[in-house]
């Protein structure tokens, strides 16, 4: 089983091209955010909040003009970037004759792809949320650049321990959950910004300039809040399944389904934090900003598990493995 | 909105200020209510997450004892303090147990009343129509050229088709319809939380009654499932030596397939095993990710390595032939391994005689030979070689202190009772002659595998509980609890029943918070109510 080098190189090119596409997308969305639909938020936010819907129900055509054209450009670039990422992962998988999520680089790329696809689905459902694409794509570009520079690993076959269909199931579901949780994280940050803006406006107090600038164009807080909840509600069962699948695989591979290995422990921590978030939303006195902060914490745990546990703690592990 | 309209959730009502009373029963009740409140569950969940953090960042005895020792050596001041708080045994510490036991109790205290409430709720008809439908989050009105009863019939058909539970009530000329759906949400939520209890119970049961042993086995030898044979062994307090399922296994052959770039592609340990002494033997190809499962026990392949073989010939002609000892891989990619051979007293030796000990470094494929350091370039045994250092003196086996079988006791060397006498690099068939005439000959190698045998009687319970949890979770997050009410009243109340052919219909809908999409569903329902003809299905 030899790695097909030309395909692997093609995969790398597609990866780089996707970063370029997303970057142009950022420019498009940022343009729309800056120029598009002056005043439309104020007009629609009241009905949206009152309706108790997700914005899907109160969709009205957005203003036409330069802003909108830039928004469409952003959207087109997002779709293009996602397609390039799919190609990049597919080539890698074919080149190394395995599923393309065998190392941290591939994991990060695939998770980000899930985030982008979830965002596209969101925009499909509620076109007027399109302009928040700028807040999705900026971190996406950062993550991809980071993955390409720091996490990059050559397309290589997997070691025997990873050759199991549980790898396909377990890692794929972790990737989906991570990607969805990341979208939820972005939405929650936007919610907190909007919330802060609304509060300052209501109290007539001052606010940081960034919030004063960004705030009025953000979707209404209630919608952002509901969307971050629904993304978690979608991702949480998938993550639960991923942890269970991981335990089943660990039982077959390592002889126990649970062993408090740091990776497992942090998966549990993240799971507990998201369970906290779901609880908080149903607990008086915890709804809103407090619950949103728990959502941020949940994503922090996911990231910690991915970056720190893989690179620092596992690194220590192999270091001290030298007796 | 939830203040004016009846709650749709059977979640416990948040604890309000409780009237103070100092009777013991009241105190207990107050604490119980506090413990089983949502807020406490929230805090406990969070505490559990926080409590797990040190267990993942500090070395843990249950995972790696030597890392803990290294930590003690590096932080001589801090480590004992951390140890006092059981920071190196977090997951078996009393404070960790306290948190999850409280959560466990809180969970039960939460499930029981909610199950009762939900059971009652499912047996009650949907509640009557609220007086002010237009105050509901979803409200609509329309008129139809039908009698109130006919409109209600049509609406009932629509709702029943959508699997709503429907009740009709007649108040004078007015017909009211109440409908509700989404009971599965609460059932799923209860199933999820109950399964969580079952999962924890299964986990505890397995820990208390299970055991786990590991052993290194060389090609051509075997082991039986008994406490004494294992290199390391761990058992739950209720697992007794007599309970061990009989099993004996022999390693016939071990092989590794490699990719071109030397990534291991497949490990295969060809085993034969018997379930009872002298019983029929079966063959099993043991691989990574595919343990041998039989009768509640599981046998795993967890590692592999080489055991160099030596023959020692003493000056008096006495011999140890073909002795081997497992060497431990230091580098997984090349399988360069280290180990120590502690020779027992030679045949006919007296009490004061010196013992021989060999420290060795084994490489499966040596790149260079001679006096230089051995370098391993390939995990496959293409050109095996060992570098050995021979010691003479007292190994210290009889000192009573526990010894690492894979290393010499360095204190014996420091004390000068074990002295280095010679060293050399050997290829297969070569030998080293010590100054006293003893000859050490490198004969080759055997492969060994590390096996782990586990028994966990709680495993199946945990698996089933997780499946139920997942199912319950999906129901609880996907199913939406909703109520719809219709009030159908004659447009012209004075006209009597027969003449009332025009009806004013008020519709109201209530969704639990967080159930987006209801307004469009509601609009679709209202549209159907206003168009559907009774009897036309
Ligand atoms: C290990 C402990 C627990 C975990 C992992 C957990 C997890 C969850 C999850 C994921 C949900 C979300 C389902 C939904 O939103 O419908 C939920 C809901 C809920 N949990 Fe727990 N839970 C735990 C303990 C408890 C305890 C101790 C209580 C009781 C005080 C409790 C009461 C509830 C209630 C009332 C809901 C429904 C919330 C709502 O109405 O939306 N949970 N739980």
Is A323 contained in some domain? no
Report pTM.
Answer: 0.85
Q: Are B206 and B458 in contact (CB under 8 A)?
A: yes
What tens digit of pLDDT does each residue of B524-535 get?
A: 888 888 887 654
Residue B83 Cα, gap to closest chain A Cα (Å): 18
Q: Average pLDDT, stretch B346-371?
A: 75
pLDDT value for A57: 36
pLDDT value for A4: 73
pLDDT value for A315: 41
**Residue-wise over B122-154: b if at least 16 C-beta within 10 A, else e?**
eeeebeebbeebeebbbbbeeebebbbbbbbbb
Is A221 contained in some domain? yes
Strands lying side by side in the sheet with B418-427: B328-329, B337-342, B355-363, B385-393, B418-427
Is A322 contained in some domain? no
What tens digit of pLDDT does each residue of A143-194 get?
A: 999 988 888 777 676 766 677 788 889 989 999 999 999 999 999 999 999 9
**CA distance linking residue B102 with residue A173, whole number of Å:** 31
Name every chain B residue with its beta carbon within 8 A of the beta carbon of A251.
Answer: 459
Rounded (10°) CA dihedral B427, B431, B434, B439: 150
List, as one string, the DSSP characters of B157-226. HHHHHTT-EEEEEEETTEEEEEEEE-HHHHHHHHHHHHHHHHHHHHHHHHHHH-EEEEEEEETT-EEES-
Distance A176 CA to ligand 1 centre (A): 23
Name every chain A residue with its beta carbon within 8 A of the beta carbon of B287.
Answer: 160
Window B:393-432, CB contacts with A under 8 Å:
none
What domain range is A218 assigned to?
5-311
Cβ–Cβ of B288/A161 closer than 8 Å? Answer: yes
Is A53 contained in some domain? yes
**Is the predicted pLDDT of residue B2 greater than 60, yes or no?**
no
What tens digit of pLDDT does each residue of A58-80 get?
A: 334 445 577 788 888 989 999 99
Is A321 contained in some domain? no
Q: How many domains does chain A have?
A: 1
What tens digit of pLDDT does each residue of B182-194 get?
A: 888 889 999 999 9
Cβ–Cβ of A320/B470 closer than 8 Å? Answer: no
Q: Which atom of ligand 1 is nearest to the CA of B110?
A: 29
Compute CA A258 distance to the chain's CA centroid, rounded to the nearest angstrom: 27
Q: Checking DSSP bridges between strand B232-235 and strand B264-274, what pairing results, if any?
A: unpaired
What tens digit of pLDDT does each residue of B412-461 get?
A: 788 877 888 888 888 888 888 888 888 999 999 999 999 999 999 999 99
Q: Which of A57, A260, A281 is nearest residue B62 as measured by Cβ atoms?
A: A260
Is A317 contained in some domain? no
Q: Is B192 near chain A, with CB under 8 Å?
A: no
**CA distance linking residue B258 with residue A108, whole number of Å:** 28
Closest among B101, B99, B75, B96 to B86, alpha carbons compared: B96
> Is pLDDT larger for residue A273 or for residue A287?
A273
Interface test with B, best of A154, A238, A272 (most B CBs within 10 A): A272
Distance A279 CA to ligand 1 centre (A): 6
Give the single-character DSSP code of B446: E
Q: Which of A57, A163, A276 is nearest residue B519 as measured by Cβ atoms?
A: A57
Q: Is B2 near chain A, with CB under 8 Å?
A: no
ipTM summary value: 0.85
**CA distance linking residue B158 with residue B306, whole number of Å:** 74
Atom 41, ligand 1: residue with shortest CA distance: A282
**Is the predicted pLDDT of residue B345 greater than 80, yes or no?**
no
Compute CA A34 distance to the chain's CA centroid, rounded to the nearest angstrom: 24
Q: Which of B38, B263, B467 is nearest residue A283 as measured by Cβ atoms?
A: B38
Name every chain A residue with its beta carbon within 8 A of the beta carbon of B474.
Answer: 237
């Amino acid at each position: 089983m030899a790695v097909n080098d030309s395909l692997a190189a093609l995969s790398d090119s597609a990866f780089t091209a996707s970063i370029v596409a997303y970057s142009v997308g950022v420019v498009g969305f940022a343009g729309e955010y800056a120029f598009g639909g002056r005043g439309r938020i104020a007009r629609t936010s009241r009905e949206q909040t009152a309706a108790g819907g997700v914005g899907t129900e109160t969709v009205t055509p957005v203003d036409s003009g330069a802003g909108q054209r830039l928004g469409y450009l952003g959207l087109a670039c997002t779709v293009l970037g996602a397609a390039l990422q799919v190609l990049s992962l597919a080539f890698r998988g074919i080149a190394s004759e395995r599923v393309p999520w065998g190392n941290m680089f591939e994991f990060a790329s695939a998770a980000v792809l899930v985030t982008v696809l979830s965002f596209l689905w969101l925009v499909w459902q509620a076109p007027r949320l399109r302009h928040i694409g700028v807040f999705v794509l900026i971190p996406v570009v950062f993550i991809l650049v980071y993955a390409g520079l720091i996490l990059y690993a050559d397309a290589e076959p997997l070691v025997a321990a990873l050759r199991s269909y549980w790898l396909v199931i377990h890692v794929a579901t972790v990737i989906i959950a991570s990607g969805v949780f990341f979208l939820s994280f972005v939405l929650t940050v936007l919610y907190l910004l909007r919330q802060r803006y609304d509060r300052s406006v209501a109290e007539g107090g001052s606010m940081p300039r960034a919030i004063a600038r960004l705030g009025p164009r953000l979707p209404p807080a209630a919608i952002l809040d509901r969307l971050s909840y629904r993304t978690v509600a979608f991702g949480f069962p998938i993550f639960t399944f991923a942890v269970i699948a991981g335990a089943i695989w660990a039982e077959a591979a390592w002889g126990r389904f649970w062993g408090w290995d740091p990776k497992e422990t942090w998966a549990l921590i993240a799971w507990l934090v998201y369970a906290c978030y779901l609880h908080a939303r149903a607990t008086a006195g915890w709804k809103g900003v407090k619950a949103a902060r728990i959502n941020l914490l949940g994503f922090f745990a996911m990231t910690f598990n991915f970056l720190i546990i893989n690179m620092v703690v596992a690194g220590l592990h192999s270091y001290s493995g030298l007796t | 909105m939830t203040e004016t309209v009846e709650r749709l959730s059977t979640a416990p009502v948040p604890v309000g200020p409780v009237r103070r009373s100092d009777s013991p029963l009241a105190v207990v009740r107050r604490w119980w209510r506090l413990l089983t409140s949502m807020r406490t569950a929230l805090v406990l969940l969070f505490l559990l997450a926080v409590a797990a953090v040190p267990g993942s960042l500090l070395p843990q005895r249950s995972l790696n004892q030597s890392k803990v020792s290294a930590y003690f050596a590096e932080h001589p001041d801090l480590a004992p303090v951390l140890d006092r708080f059981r920071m190196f045994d977090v997951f078996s510490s009393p404070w960790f147990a306290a948190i999850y036991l409280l959560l466990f109790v809180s969970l039960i205290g939460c499930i029981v009343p909610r199950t009762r409430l939900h059971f009652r709720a499912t047996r009650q008809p949907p509640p009557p129509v609220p007086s002010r439908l237009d105050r509901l989050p979803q409200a609509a009105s329309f008129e139809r050229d039908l009698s109130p009863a006919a409109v209600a019939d049509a609406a009932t058909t629509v709702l029943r088709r959508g699997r709503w539970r429907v009740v009709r009530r007649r108040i004078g000329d007015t017909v009211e319809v109440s409908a509700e759906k989404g009971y599965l949400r609460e059932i799923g939520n209860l199933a999820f939380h109950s399964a969580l209890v079952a999962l924890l119970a299964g986990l505890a049961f397995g820990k208390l009654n299970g055991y786990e042993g590991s052993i290194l086995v060389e090609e051509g030898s075997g082991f039986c499932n008994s406490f004494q044979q294992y290199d390391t062994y761990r058992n739950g307090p209720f697992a007794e030596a007599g309970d061990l399922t009989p099993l004996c296994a022999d390693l016939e052959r071990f092989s590794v397939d490699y990719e071109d770039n030397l990534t291991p592609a497949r490990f295969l340990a060809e085993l034969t095993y018997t379930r009872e002494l002298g019983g029929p033997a079966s063959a099993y190809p043991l691989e990574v990710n595919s343990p041998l499962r039989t009768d509640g026990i599981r046998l795993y392949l967890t590692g592999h390595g080489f055991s160099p073989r030596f023959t020692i010939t003493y000056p008096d002609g006495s011999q140890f032939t073909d002795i081997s000892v497992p060497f431990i891989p230091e580098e997984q990619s090349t399988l360069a391994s280290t180990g120590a051979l502690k020779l027992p007293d030679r045949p006919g030796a007296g009490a004061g005689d010196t013992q021989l000990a060999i420290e060795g470094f084994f490489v499966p494929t040596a790149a260079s030979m001679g006096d230089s350091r051995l370098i391993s370039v390939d995990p496959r045994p293409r050109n095996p070689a060992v570098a050995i250092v021979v010691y003479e003196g007292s190994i210290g086996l009889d000192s009573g202190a526990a010894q690492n079988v894979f290393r010499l006791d360095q204190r014996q060397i420091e004390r000068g009772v074990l002295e280095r006498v010679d060293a050399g690099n050997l290829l297969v068939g070569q030998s080293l002659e010590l100054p006293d005439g003893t000859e050490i000959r490198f004969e080759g190698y055997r492969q060994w595998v590390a096996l782990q045998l586990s028994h966990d009687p709680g495993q199946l319970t945990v698996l089933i509980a997780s499946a139920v949890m997942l199912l319950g979770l999906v129901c609880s997050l996907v199913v939406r609890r909703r109520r719809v009410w219709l009030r159908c009243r004659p447009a012209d109340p004075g006209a009597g029943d027969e003449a009332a052919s025009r009806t004013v219909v008020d519709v109201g809908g209530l969704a639990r918070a967080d159930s987006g999409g209801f307004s469009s569903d509601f609009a679709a329902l209202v549209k159907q109510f206003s168009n559907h003809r009774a009897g036309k299905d």
